[in-house]
Amino acid sequence: MSKDQKKLLGSRLRAARIAAKQSQDFSAEVLGVTRQSVSAWETGVSTPSALQLGQLAVAYCSCAHTLLFGEPFTAVELRELLSLDAEKRPSRNLV
């Protein structure tokens, strides 16, 4: 994850925490980490693990995808992609 991506994630984490009306201390207690860890995530110095990101999403009544990418998750059904002409298909690797 690049430095800019870490900062964007951090700003989204901070905004979600504030929207959920939680303090860094409370968030840290819920996750079992220090307040300094929460602060480091919010400033982009470090990032939470995948498990911690999921826990933060639950604690903030948010979605991990939204926290990571800044947009709501949109499910894509494989049959919809397969029904599109090859040139109209999005250029994503489906695994």
pLDDT given at position 94? 45
Assess whether pLDDT exceeds 80 at residue 66: yes
Structural domain that includes position 34: 3-69
**How far is Cα 49 from Cα 31, in angstroms, rounded to an integer?**
11
Cβ atoms of residues 67 and 86 within 8 Å: no
Residue 57 lies in a domain: yes
Q: Is the pLDDT of residue 44 over 70?
A: yes
- Domain-located, residue 76: no
Is residue 54 in a domain? Answer: yes
pLDDT tens digits, 82-94:
776 655 655 555 4
On whether residue 12 sits in a domain, the answer given is yes
Angle subtended at Cα 31 by Cα 30 and Cα 32, rounded to the nearest 5 degrees: 95
Query: Percent of the chain beyond pLDDT 70?
Result: 86
Q: Exposure of 2 by Cβ count < 10 A (0-12 exposed, 13-18 middle, 19+ buried)?
A: exposed
Overall domain count for the chain: 1
pLDDT, position 46: 96
Q: Does some domain include residue 44?
A: yes
pLDDT confidence of residue 76? 76
Whether residue 11 is contained in a domain is answered as: yes
CATH of the domain at 46: 1.10.260.40
Banded pLDDT at 42 (limits 50, 70, 90)? very high
Rounded average pLDDT over 15-32: 96
